[in-house]
Each structure stands twice: as C-alpha cells, then as structure tokens.
Amino acid sequence: HRMKVHPVAISGLNRFICLSCSQPCDNKTALNEHMFLEHGVVTQFLCDICGNTFSSAHNLKLHKLLHLEVKPHSCSTCNKTFPLRHQLRRHQEVHSGEQKYVCDDCGQKYS
C-alpha cells in the first residue's frame, strides 16, 4: 500500500542498513556484499537463486519454496494456491472483508 499510494514519502529511504556502520544499501544482495567486504561477515544460509540470507537452514528451506512452482495450499473460496500456509491465511483475509491494517501516513485501512 505505502509504495503505491505514498511513493514520495519513502522513496529516499534505504531499507537495508548495515547494523555495524549504518551504511545504507540499495538491496539485500548489496548489503550482504558490503558486510562481507567491509566487516568480514559471512552469512551461513544463502539462497543460491536470489541472494537472500537467512539465520537458519529451516528459514532458507521455507524461502526456497517461494521459488518453486509447488503451491500445496489452496484457498477454498477462489482456489488460488500458495507455497506457504501463512500466505494462504493472509490471502483469506481479503475474502473476509476485514481491513485490519492501517496506513501510518494517511490512516486508510486495507487488508
């Protein structure tokens, strides 16, 4: 919602900031490269497809499901499928009509 409705408000912000030296980076891959080159930090669990890093093998395994076409969790209302159960639960909120999220910038509610 925020990127679509309020792009100017956050366009100058970097979401990926080095926790060691506060260096802003454009993306996760750039941050990982910075951490390695500047601080010698090697992340243990790296996705070989997109470069994202994870703190555990379990989280990497769950993430890799997103790259696969396997989507075992199906919405009983519209039959849309998802690789992870929590994605299905989040999607099902759309069908309930409940708008439990509120934009911090304008107060608009959305699901």
Mean pLDDT on 19-44:
84
Tens of pLDDT, residue by residue over 51-101, are 898 877 888 988 898 888 888 999 999 999 998 898 899 899 888 877 777
**Res 40 pLDDT > 80:** yes
What is the DSSP track for the chain?
A: -HHHH-HHHHTT--SEE-TTT--EESSHHHHHHHHHHHH----SEE-TTT--EESSHHHHHHHHGGGSS---EE-TTT--EESSHHHHHHHHHHHHT---EE-TTT--EE-
Tens of pLDDT, residue by residue over 1-20, are 555 544 444 445 667 888 88
**Which sequence spans correspond to the domains of the chain?**
13-67
CATH number of the 13-67 domain: 3.30.160
